[in-house]
Amino acid sequence: MKLTPLYSHGVAAGFPSPADDHREDSLSLDQHLITRPAATFMARANGDSMQGLGIFDRDLLIVDRSLEPAQGDVVVVALDGQLACKVLDRYRGRLLSANDRYPPIPIREGQELVLEGVVKASIRYHRSC
């Protein structure tokens, strides 16, 4: 596993100075983002329904199946066989988007709902790879 330098100073929309030797430690993104490898998968976000929470089209989602979903968690679900990334509203029995253009999705009795996992993090690419 490759460790990447982690600087102790924040970077204000720029690069650290080459003279900055205040490295805090090294950081493994695997260790930082994936605490339970056997229960974790990644998926790409599709569409703009979660933009209000900073999840954009083609962002990479880190999804943990071992986490118990709580009210307000961002989750990946299969609803009647269709995968979706939404906010869980357990109190009202529905799934919410983070974009006002998309109405809440009620979870109706008889629908097949499979919770695939809780979105632990997302990664946005600022330059196409």
Residue-wise pLDDT for 8-61, tens only, equals 555 565 555 555 555 566 767 788 788 898 999 999 999 999 999 999 999 999
d(CA 22, CA 75): 37
- The closest alpha carbon to 78, from 113, 42, 43, 118, belongs to 113
The DSSP secondary-structure symbol of 31 reads H
Q: Are 64 and 115 in contact (CB under 8 A)?
A: no
Residue 26 falls in the annotated catalytic set: no
Catalytic residue among 8, 17, 86, 122: 86
Mean pLDDT of the chain: 86
Q: Which pLDDT value is given to residue 64?
A: 95
* Catalytically annotated residue among 2, 17, 26, 49: 49
97 belongs to the catalytic site:
no
Whether the per-residue pLDDT at 119 is higher than 60: the answer is yes
User: Per residue in 65-99, pLDDT tens?
Assistant: 999 999 999 999 999 999 999 999 999 999 999 99
Number of Cβ within 10 Å of residue 41's Cβ equals 14
